[in-house]
Amino acid sequence: MKRKDIIYTAGLFDGEGCIVITRGPKKNGRGKIYNCVAIRMEICNTDLDLIKSIKKDWDEGHICKIPPRPVKHGMSKPQLRWQLTHRQAHRVLKRIMPYMREKNKLAKAQEVMDYYNKAS
């Protein structure tokens, strides 16, 4: 992957993306409760070709369709969401973090990195 594409993704992620880390108890199929960490990062946009292009460039994650919803003056535009979970998010964040600038997202990205560095 070209450096300019990595930088572009970092900028797009700074503006449009989000990182979610949740921790808490979860029950498995047998009723046993265990601690769980869920990691997700995503970019959502109405430029469908842009999201498809990023997914293709990175060859990670998956695309979710978000249907239009009612708004004050009609319907919103359809959107696509490029979503990465767990190790996928970790692999992408390792490459885009040096180019990210948004402090809150950098802090969340660092949480993901710390989690996987500790797990290794």
pLDDT (mean) for 112-120: 87
Half-sphere exposure of 36 (CA within 13 A, CB side): 11
Q: Do the Cβ atoms of 20 and 41 come closer than 8 Å? A: yes
Tens-place pLDDT, residues 100-111: 999 999 999 999
pTM value is 0.86
**Predicted confidence (pLDDT) at residue 1 exceeds the cutoff of 90:** no
Pairing of strands 33-45, 74-75: unpaired
Mean pLDDT of 70-94: 92
3-state secondary structure (DSSP) of residue 72: coil
Mean pLDDT (whole number) for 1-11: 94
Q: Is the pLDDT of residue 120 over 70?
A: no
